[in-house]
């Protein structure tokens, strides 16, 4: 089925470890983004991309890196995990031409201990 695929679904990290959250979409969407969701805070934008080779920072970019080498993939890297990065992470994409509604991945639940 077409859509946004996120892996892994669950992850536990130790403080200081690094990891990459994977996101892939097969809808040829130009725009991809990463959000984190914390209780009482809603969804906050971490990084986004409007096309291959183009990325920009969102509201809460510190501690995260992204790259966009292809239209399909938009990985999120945690450089040195901290307990404050314990959250649910969602990847989302949208066609900038059609511009109707994000498609979200099913989320990654990350715990940093």
Partner 1 sequence: RKEVEQDPGPFNVPEGATVAFNCTYSNSASQSFFWYRQDCRKEPKLLMSVYSSGNEDGRFTAQLNRASQYISLLIRDSKLSDSATYLCVVKVLGNTGKLIFGQGTTLQVKP
| Contact letters for partner 1, residues 20-49 (x by CB under 8 A) | ----------xx-x-x----xxxxxx--x-
Residue 71 is a binding residue for partner 1 (CB under 8 A): no
- Taking the C-alpha atoms of residue 104 and residue 17, their distance in angstroms, rounded to an integer, is 26
Residue 75 is a binding residue for partner 1 (CB under 8 A): no
- Taking the C-alpha atoms of residue 103 and residue 39, their distance in angstroms, rounded to an integer, is 22
CB of 103 to partner 1, least distance (A): 9
Nearer to partner 1, 35 or 78 (CB): 35
């Amino acid at each position: 089925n077409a859509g946004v695929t996120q892996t892994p679904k669950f992850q536990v990290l130790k403080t200081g470890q690094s990891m990459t959250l994977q996101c892939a979409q097969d809808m040829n969407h130009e725009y991809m983004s990463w959000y984190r969701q914390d209780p009482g805070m809603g969804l906050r934008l971490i990084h986004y991309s409007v096309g291959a080779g183009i990325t920009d920072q969102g509201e809460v970019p510190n501690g995260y890196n992204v790259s966009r080498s292809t239209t399909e993939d938009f990985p999120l890297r945690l450089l040195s995990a901290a307990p404050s990065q314990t959250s649910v992470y969602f990847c989302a994409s949208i066609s900038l031409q059609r511009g109707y509604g994000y498609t979200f991945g099913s989320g990654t639940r990350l715990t940093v201990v």
